[in-house]
Chain A
Amino acid sequence: MGDSRFTQQELPACKPILTPRWVISTFMFVSLVFIPIGVASLFASRDVVEIIDRYETDCIPQDFKNDKVKYIQTPGEKTCNRTLTVPKHMKHPIYVYYQLDNFYQNHRRYVKSRSDKQLRNPNSENDASACKPEDMANGMPIVPCGLIAWSLFNDTYSFSRTNQILTVNKKGISWKSDRDHKFGKNVYPKNFQSGKLIGGANLSSSIPLSEQEDLIVWMRTAALPTFRKLYGKIEVDLQEGEVINVTVENNYNTYSFNGKKKLVLSTTSWLGGKNDFLGTAYLTVGGLCFLLAMAFTIVYLIKPRRLGDPSYLSWNQNPGGH
């Protein structure tokens, strides 16, 4: 017979008994911790300055308002000027995002339509079977293949303020691990956008994939149909009230599926971008705990009862039985 303390279930164990004092102080403790955190993160989030400019409708000339799709599918220059006013002082780095709505990068067909091997290794360029129908062009494998790469976002933005051009730094906008490990340094685009249908942006066939950062960003598919992707960084501060001119090259077709396009400029705080949710969540939970602690305290003070009182057991309510 094994008679270790384990088999006899005699190992030391801690089993807190939920006495009123314990419960109330636990709730109190949680609320005391959570409420300051919530306040701090709300403040951090409020500190972030964001400029959002929806431009996809405004950038269609009046003549084409009724058939935006035709406009966007017609070849030619489609520049569009936007002016943004800085509402508050913006500290650098200022992140430039584009935001798409109603774009299902998470569609099962779309998300699978890529070949990670091909992206990584120049010798596996024929490994494009998952990429149908964007796998081959004229009998040659497309590098990078698949619907994701094919539909690469191709609007461009250039910024200037009072005749001074604001340079956008497009280096380092993708994940380092992606650049180093997922996209090969010696893999060059081949036969890209040479099929019958042109999807999105073209890629320079002389730059290796690991340096095509727009592609790398795009290939990291978004989980939700509304998403932002990093376009670049502006490395100077912007002053309050400054007017910024943006020249948009409006190439990308979101009109077919009624998608919105937005340009977003945003600073960051220690918590990241603008996001009130975290702070609100902390405040809610902390507040609830506080309320509960108060309620229990009141109950405890007004109507206390002995713990583990067996007279409350169901069979003790009826003394006729055992």
Chain B
Amino acid sequence: MVGGRRKKQLFSRIYAFSSGKASSDVEYSLIGGTDFSRRVFCNDPEIFETGYPNYENNYVRTTKYTLVTFFPKALFEQFRRVGNVYFLICSFLAFTPLAPYSPLSTFLPFVLVIGVTMGKEMVEDWRRKKQDIEVNNRNVKVHHGDGSFGNTKWMNLRVGDVVKVEKDEFFPADLILLSSCYEETICYVETTNLDGENNLKLKQALEATSNLNEDSKFRNFKAIIKCEDPNANLYSFVGSLEVEEQMYPLTAQQLLLRGSKLKNTDYVYGVVIFAGHDTKVIQNSTAPPSKRSKIEKRTDKIIYLLFSVLVFMSFTGSVFFGIATREDLENGRMTRWYLRPDDTSIYYDPKRAPIAAVLHFLTALMLYSYLIPVSLYVYMEIVKVLQSLFINRDLHMYYEEADKPAIARTSNLNEELGQVDTILSDKTGTLTCNSMEFIKCSVAGTSYGRSVTEVERALAGRKRSSLAQMVTEEWGFVEDSPKPEPSVKGFNFADERIMMGNWVNEPHLDVIQKFFQLLAICHTVIPDVDEETGTVSYEAESPDEAALVVASRELGFEFYERTQTSISFLELDPMSGRKFKRLYNLLNILEFSSSRKRMSVIVRNEEGKLILLCKGADSIMFERLATDGREFEEQTKEHINEYADAGLRTLVVAYRELDDQEYSEFSDEYAKAKNSVSADREVVVEAVADKIEKDLILLGATAVEDKLQNGVPECIDKLAQAGIKIWVLTGDKMETAINTGHACSLLRKGMNQIIISSETPEFKALNKAGDEFNVCEASRSSILNQIIEGNVLLEESSERSEALALIIDGKSLTYALEDDVKDLFLELAVGCASVICCRSSPKQKALVTRLLKVKTGMTTLAIGDGANDIGMLQEADIGVGISGFEGMQAVMSSDIAIAQFRFLERLLLVHGHWCYRRISSMVTSLLVHSVFRFFLLFRFLDQGVNLQFYYQNLKMFGTENHFSITKFFIK
């Protein structure tokens, strides 16, 4: 056992708004009924020997085939292609005397074709198998029965096993949390792989099991869990835990899902309730839809056409054959005596001419099979595999830092890349690197920070490139503009006026000090002190919060300890150069929420003064300032606008001193509100917090850059020049999305922005007043109006040839995607040069993709990195996964994986273009080839009356084809 129990911290205090709520009793009455039949005997390995209950083990198989099912299943897959069925029939007929040529000449090429495609399937499946083996053989600590834990492989876990998961490990199965290293039995979980949200989630075990915090205590632990049957719902769970004859309800609050990761917690104990394919993440995974490129679909159509020509020809031919054969004997006299119609077999018998005609029809079907190029499909496959090799090998798409080349995971879609009309992109992790950098701040009306933002760089670059573009039409590569990488993650601030302790020489010295003290105190970050080196690292719910704390540390306010009641940091005294410790008593944390858009802490400083520190969005902060706290308001507002134009995220920072009486009133009220058990508890808590967060004194504002990936603006610019539209579908806030839009040149100055939002003042009024139905109706009609207005604007602007940008938020999108509105919405969206959907759920992303794909018929490409993009990736014609640093979920369900967004440029404009040209010219020339050969044959058959096998058999799989194929993938 490593380390002791962690310092006891009262975290329930931090998470005022998110502690678990009791479920209603109704759900629990279902336990034991249908769909709720699962019974798990915890920590009772013997129960398995008795054979009950027989749940799945934790072996996960994602391969399509097993060793046994490979042949039947893969063969079946092959014969779903109509062409292959035809050739199968031909091959069988070739062994009958009907055959116009020797059986091997059809059979061999056919077997080769099938063999090659099946071989490809096998290789692809083998790759999946290797991945399965890796996952299934990961180790986890499991309880062996006598209070000791030992390593075992994931696949050997069984339902009911007690496992111990340590920090930064993935959960091997769906677990019920029993206890953790914290006394409150909480733990933090990162669920990026499941829902794409990158904040940490809090899970808490039941009181009843909280004492099970050491290995040895599990020696005598026995419990029975009754719960719902395996299902795909990630956010709900109903069950009960029976321990020592006591029943306790279980909720999703206790459920740790496979695919998520333990964070900020040294270890947890949990019991396996769903294993292997029963786990929610696997229940959620849908089989990837098989995508086919347009060329393939069109080729299919041509083949159908050729097939009908073939049937028609054979039919006419055999009718004439039948007539001619019947006339071979006229009144007992032979006409074509040299054929000896008097002494013949059934195939040529004039007396049974209809039968002969039918048999001739079959023969003709075989003979004319030249018309249908048997090898076309296999050539397409081979060429595509080679093309994907080119993609995989391309050094220009190789990301050296992470050692990640581009991977064409399915070779089917190479040529489709050259046909992309619209790109649907995720934001976080795709356009941006999901790392926040503190870059500027405005304190006491003065703006600090000289670093150049990405947007400014892009603007400068665009000026240059518009000149350069006139000179060279070439596609170039994004040069990684030489810029010094920030030495500290999250910190890219440079200003000698306040760095290195120089702030003491600034005019508003006290404000600057308060500003950075506030940054060091007002947050929910957890410090992690490396005991050997003494350096502090921070674990935060969101990267921008971490960036602020890092910034305060770098400027001499080093936050290093958080206890349940206090926050401590070291302040560097610039005069003496010594660090001295400051300790603030932490009284309350008024947590951040999207509706509040701010967070505050109430602390008592060393002198005993009560202070409320608050940071939040400018839209709500300025109205909360005290009349005497607006000293720097004008300048700060100006700076905030500047920052926003530069694509930065801004937060306004303010404070307030409280007197004891006011605080004690608040404290009572707040505690009461928090402990109330009613549906509107959150509203009450918010209202109480609202009362105290007022009369603030403005200190300044911070600006954090959501860092764009390298070369994103340039890449987007190039794609736009190629006539490709880019839509950004993000889960982020509208402000952030617009910032990013500016940063990556999707939104430009002089663009008309149409903003469709449900956050208008009227909405808020309605929400406060009305019942749900009215709100719904009103918002629907309002969204409709906004869309119609947008369409009017679109018409006007198209006359004036202005570019439009559409920005829509998730709630409005819900209404916009309803059946009667969606056509209007699509019309508007397609007309706009840029479209940004903010606050959109994974499902909405997929729906937008489908709407666009189905209604316009254009080729769509979706690009994303997180599990929340999977729906979108699978729905789009092509799904491109970013194989960056975080999870592999998106890559696993993508068709092509690249490491950086900027590689998209080369992928589409070079590879897509080449692949499309090569494949299409190959298909057309092969088709022409076979049609020509068919006509040659048909001519010599003299209108199909007679057949000959004069043609060399082996020409069927003719040598000329083998030569022609090579030229298509080389040039």
Q: Do A and B come from one complex?
A: yes
Complex contacts, A147 vs chain B, CB 8 Å: 338-340
Q: How far is the CB of B793 from chain A (nearest CB, A)?
A: 12
Please tell me if A2 contacts chain B, counting CB pairs below 8 Å.
Answer: yes
Instruction: Given A147-B338, A320-B833, check contact A108 B344 (CB 8 Å).
Output: no
Check B921 for interface membership: any CB of A closer than 8 A. Answer: no
- By a CB distance below 8 angstroms, the chain A residues around B723 are 313-316, 321-322
Residue of A nearest to B405 (CB): A1
**Cα(A308)–Cα(B474), bound, Å:** 12
A314-B723, A319-B801, A321-B725 known; A111+B335 contact, CB < 8 A: no
Residue A225, interface by CB 8 Å: yes
B393 touches A8 (CB 8 A): yes
Contacts A112-B949, A322-B723 known; A134 to B340 CB distance under 8 Å? yes
Query: A103 to chain B: which residues have CB within 8 Å?
Result: 338
Selected contact of B798 from candidates A134, A199, A256, A320, CB within 8 Å: A320
- Distance in angstroms from A258 CB to nearest chain B CB is 8
Q: Which residue of A lies closest to B393 (CB)?
A: A7
Q: In the complex, are the beta carbons of B395 and A322 less than 8 A apart?
A: no
Determine, out of B78-86, B137-145, B227-235, B939-947, the stretch whose residues face the partner at the interface.
Answer: B939-947
Closest to B387 in A: A9
Given contacts A3-B395, A257-B336, A322-B720, contact A106 B802 (CB under 8 A): no
A111 to B940, CA, bound (A): 13
Q: Does B294 contact A (CB under 8 A)?
A: no
A13-B971, A111-B948, A320-B802 given; A253·B337 CB < 8 A: yes
How distant is A2 from chain B, measured CB to nearest CB, in Å?
Answer: 6
Question: Which residues from B are CB-within-8-Å of A8?
Answer: 393-395
A69 at the interface (CB under 8 A from B): yes
- Scoring B333, B348, B723, B971 by chain A CB atoms within 10 A of each residue's CB, the highest score goes to B723
B11 within 8 A of A: no
- The reply to whether A104 and B393 form a contact with Cβ atoms under 8 Å apart is no
Main SS at interface, chain B: loop
CB neighbours (8 Å) of B720 from chain A are 322
The contact of A320 among B345, B347, B831, B940, by CB within 8 Å, is B831
Q: Please state if A109 and B395 are interface contacts (CB–CB under 8 Å).
A: no
Q: Is residue B389 contacting chain A, with contact meaning CB distance below 8 A?
A: yes
Are the CB atoms of B940 and A109 closer together than 8 Å? no
Q: Which residues of A32-74 are within 8 A (CB) of B?
A: 69
Mask, B928-971, CB within 8 Å of A = 1, is 00000000000011100111111000000000000000000011
Whether B946 lies near A322 (C-beta < 8 A) is no
Is the Cβ of A104 less than 8 Å from the Cβ of B336? Answer: yes
Say whether A108 contacts B473, CB under 8 Å: no
Cross-chain contact A199 with B797 (CB below 8 angstroms): no
Residues in B whose Cβ lies below 8 Å from that of A258: 335
Q: Which of B458-484 contact A (CB under 8 A)?
A: 473
**Inter-subunit contact A224/B797 (CB<8 Å):** no
Check if B916 is an interface residue, CB within 8 A of chain A: no
Task: Give the Cβ gap from B516 to chain A, nearest Cβ, in Å.
Answer: 44
Determine whether B803 belongs to the interface, using a CB cutoff of 8 Å to chain A: yes
The residue in chain B whose Cβ has the minimal distance to the Cβ of A103 is B338
Interface residues of B in 405-437 (CB under 8 A from A): 405
A110:B803 contact, CB within 8 angstroms: no
A299-322 near B? 1/0 per residue, CB < 8 Å: 000000000100001111011111
With A and B bound together, what is the CA distance between A1 and B397 in angstroms?
12
The interface bits of chain A over 166-178 (1 if a CB of B lies within 8 angstroms of the residue's CB, else 0) are 0000000000000
Using CB atoms, name the residue of chain B closest to A13.
B971
Which residues of chain A are within 8 angstroms of B946 by Cβ–Cβ distance? 104, 106-108, 225
Complex formed: what's the CA distance from A258 to B941 in Å? 20
Describe A's contact surface by its main secondary structure: loop
A225 and B946 alpha carbons, distance in the complex (Å): 10
Expressed in whole angstroms, the Cα–Cα distance for A315 and B803 within the complex equals 13
B343 on the A face (CB < 8 A): yes
* A7-B390 in contact (CB<8A): yes
Q: When each residue 131-158 of chain A gets 1 if its CB lies under 8 Å from chain B and 0 otherwise, what string results?
A: 0111000000000000100110000000
B:819-859 near A, CB below 8 Å: 831, 833
Partner of A224, one of B940, B949, B970: B940
What are the interface flags for B737-750 relative to A under an 8 Å C-beta threshold, 1 for contact and 0 otherwise? 00000000000000
A223 contacts the other chain (CB 8 A): yes
B100 adjacent to chain A (CB < 8 Å): yes
For A257, the chain B residues whose CB sits under 8 A away are: 335-337
Complex Cα–Cα for A1 and B404 (A) = 11
Interface size on A, residues (CB 8 A): 46
CB-based nearest A residue for B328 = A257
Q: Mark A195-215, 1 if CB is under 8 A from B, else 0.
A: 001011000000000000000
Give the residue name and chain of the A residue nearest to B940 (CB). Answer: A223
Q: Which residues of A contact B803 (CB under 8 A)?
A: 320-322
Contact residues, B468-510 vs A (CB, 8 A): 473
Which residues of A have CB within 8 Å of B333?
69, 256
* B950–A256 touching, CB < 8 Å: no
Contact of B340 among A3, A108, A133, A225 (CB under 8 A): A133
Contact of B338 among A13, A132, A151 (CB under 8 A): A151
Q: Which of A69, A225, A319 contacts B942 (CB 8 A)?
A: A225
How far apart are the CA atoms of A223 and B946 in the complex, in Å?
Answer: 10
Closest A residue, CB atoms, query B421: A315
Of B338, B723, B831, B970, most buried by chain A (CB within 10 Å of CB) is B338
Q: Which residues of the partner chain A approach B389 to less than 8 Å between Cβ atoms?
A: 7
Is B311 part of the binding interface, using a Cβ–Cβ cutoff of 8 Å? no
From residue A224, how far is it (CB to closest CB) to chain B in Å?
6
Task: Mark contacts of A94-115 with chain B using CB atoms, 8 A cut-off: 1 yes-contact digit, 0 otherwise.
Answer: 0000000001101111111000
| Cross-interface CB contact of B725 among A197, A221, A322, cutoff 8 Å | A322
Which listed residue (A2, A7, A256, A320) contacts B797, Cβ 8 A?
A320
B:186-232 near A, CB below 8 Å: none
Chain B contacts for A223, CB-based, 8 A: 940, 948, 950
CA distance A15 to B913 in the complex (A): 15
Tell me the smallest distance from the CB of A129 to a CB of chain B, in Å. Answer: 12
Contact of B334 with A by CB under 8 A:
yes
Which residues from chain A contact B345 at a C-beta distance below 8 Å? 132
- Partner of A199 from the list B338, B398, B804, B970 (CB cut-off 8 Å) is B338
* B348 proximity list for chain A (CB < 8 A): 109
In the complex, the answer to whether B948 meets A108 with C-beta atoms within 8 Å is: yes
Q: Is the CB of A256 within 8 A of B942?
A: no
- Mark each residue of chain A from 1 to 18: 1 if its CB lies under 8 Å from any CB of chain B, else 0: 111000111010101000
Chain A's nearest CB lies how many Å from the CB of B737? 19
Question: Which residue in chain B gives the minimum CB-CB distance to A11?
Answer: B970
**From B942, which residue of chain A is reached at the shortest CB distance?**
A225
- Taken together as a complex, chains A and B put the C-alpha atoms of A258 and B336 apart, in Å, by 9
User: With contacts A8-B393, A320-B803, A322-B833 known, is A107 near B339, CB below 8 A?
Assistant: yes
**A1 touching B398 by the CB < 8 A rule?**
yes
The reply to whether B338 and A106 form a contact with Cβ atoms under 8 Å apart is no
* B390 x A110 contact (CB < 8 A): no
Q: Which residues of B contact A104 (CB under 8 A)?
A: 336, 339, 942, 945-946
Question: Is the beta-carbon distance between A2 and B393 smaller than 8 angstroms?
Answer: yes
Contact B395–A256 (Cβ < 8 Å):
no
Q: In the complex, are the beta carbons of A111 and B949 less than 8 A apart?
A: yes
Interface residues of A in 114-135 (CB under 8 A from B): 132-134
Interchain CB contact under 8 A, B473 and A308: yes
Report chain A residues within 8 Å CB of B395: 1, 3, 8
A240 to chain B, nearest CB (A): 38
What is the CA–CA distance of A256 and B724 in the complex, to the nearest angstrom?
Answer: 72
- Assembled-state Cα–Cα distance A205/B776 (Å): 105
Digitize A214-229: 1 where CB-to-B-CB distance is under 8 Å, 0 elsewhere: 0000000101110000
Shortest Cβ-Cβ A-B pairs, 4 listed:
A315-B723, A151-B338, A7-B393, A133-B343
Q: Which residues of A contact B (CB under 8 A)?
A: 1-3, 7-9, 11, 13, 15, 69, 103-104, 106-112, 132-134, 147, 150-151, 197, 199-200, 221, 223-225, 253, 256-258, 308, 313-316, 318-322
Taking A107-B947, A322-B720 as given, write out 7 further A-B residue pairs in contact, using a Cβ cutoff of 8 Å, ordered by the A residue number. Answer: A1-B405, A7-B394, A133-B340, A134-B340, A147-B340, A224-B942, A256-B334
Q: List 5 A-B contacts (CB under 8 A).
A: A104-B942, A107-B948, A108-B363, A109-B339, A257-B335
